[in-house]
Structure 1
Amino acid sequence: MACLVALTIAVVDQSTKALAIAQLSTRERIPLIGDLLGLQLAFNPGTIMSLGSGSTWVFTIVGTAATIALFYAAWRVTTTGWAVALGFVWGGAIGNLLDRYLAAPRFGRGHVTDFLAYGNLFIGNLADVALGVGVGLGIVLQLLRTRRHHAATERAGGGDSLQ
């Protein structure tokens, strides 16, 4: 399941980036929801808001390590919910890592293609959205797991309630 989700995310991400390169401009923003969300092409050597622009090679190494770790985690996951969450994160990581390896200016130091302009804050892409969705889903799954564990502990009489 995680592999299918990751593959789908990576293919959709790379397809939308190719479309953005073909259709959008780095100078002109196309509003979608007023000034809140628009389309504008950008090439990001760093992370969110171009942080670490001079360290593109570091992000390539970190992204490669994360992608390998997520591959390993995908084989160990035992529930569909966690498989989907991991798949979103893994697919987002792969989508941006492909840019790091294959995009200009050169192999391993490529700039990530961004096109979703969030007001005047930053410009991102669908891989970034997938990363956020996967992390958010993981947080929700962990909170639900913790809640179920506490409820089971209370039912078993092992609670720490003061009486």
Structure 2
Amino acid sequence: MNIERSEPEQPEPAAPGGSAAGDSSGAGDSGSTGKSPRPRRLLVLLFGVAALLLAADVLTKVAAVAALEDQPPARLFGGAVYLVLVRNPGAAFSLATGMTWLLALLAIVVVGVILWLAPKLRSTGWAIGLGLVLGGACGNLVDRLFREPGFLRGHVVDFVSLFAPDGSVWPVFNVADSAIVCGGVLVVLMSLLGRDYDGTVHRKKERS
């Protein structure tokens, strides 16, 4: 009587690095990496947001000058919003008037810092926030460089006043001012949530 003997199963060869072929630890690392937005996409997002804001700011200022120059304030939404042309030598929301040249240089520094940070971004929230700040800073910087009374001393065009036609309730502002404030709030919020611009804190939390 012949008894068939089965050959013992041979273990599968280990994959390079000491893990078996069926081990999924490597796939887990690639999966976690795949969750992070690609730097190129974040650059497109940042500069796309900035470009849209800059275009909106320039176009609305041109329209405001054309429609509101030497005209009385336009009342909208039952007086909640007034459109009135104001040429502002100061910062956002009419702050720091009389320091136009210094504010222009500060805007240039802000733009430079954002451009330096841009390639290091790994956070969508930071990309949107910095894009808003960049677009707003560039919008007001264009006014300071090219509007009267001269280079680095140009007055920024503001045209939105809330609840009063003279800015007595809320300072008169423009699209660029709103973008700077919203972008700054978003960046602060991301920091409070522990999300660094390069994704460092986010990755630490994922690993823990």
Partner residue of 2:107? 63
Partners of 1:28 and 1:95 in 2: CA distance: 25
Partner residue of 1:161? none
Greater relative contact order, per chain length (Cα 8 Å cut-off, separation 6+): 1
Deviates more, 1:3-12 or 1:20-29: 20-29
TM-score by length of 2: 0.66
Query: Where is the helix percentage greater, Structure 1 or Structure 2?
Result: 1
Amino acid at match of 2:172: I
> What is the deviation of 1:26?
5.4
Query: Where is the strand percentage greater, Structure 1 or Structure 2?
Result: 1
User: Quick check: 2:93–2:177 contact (8 Å CA) kept in 1?
Assistant: no
> What is the deviation of 1:90?
0.7
Partners of 1:116 and 1:26 in 2: CA distance: 16
Amino acid at match of 1:127: A
Partners of 1:26 and 1:49 in 2: CA distance: 21
> What is the deviation of 1:7?
1.1
1:41-89: per-residue Cα shift (whole Å, max 9, x none)? 1100012453332221111111111111111122221111110111001
Partner residue of 1:123? 172
Partner residue of 2:117? 73
SS of 1:124 mapped into structure 2? coil
User: Quick check: 2:47–2:131 contact (8 Å CA) kept in 1?
Assistant: yes
SS of 1:52 mapped into structure 2? coil
Unaligned ranges ≥5, structure 2: 1-44, 196-200
Q: Which of 193, 200, 203 is residue 144 of structure 1 equivalent to?
A: 193
Q: Which of 47, 52, 69 is residue 3 of structure 1 equivalent to?
A: 47
Could you say what the CA RMSD is over the residues aligned between the two structures, in angstroms? 2.1
User: Quick check: 1:3–1:74 contact (8 Å CA) kept in 2?
Assistant: no
Q: Sequence identity of aligned pairs in percent?
A: 35
Partner residue of 1:14? 58
Deviates more, 1:44-53 or 1:54-63: 44-53
1:78-126: per-residue Cα shift (whole Å, max 9, x none)? 1111101110011100000110101111111100000111232311000
User: Quick check: 2:94–2:173 contact (8 Å CA) kept in 1?
Assistant: no
Amino acid at match of 1:109: R
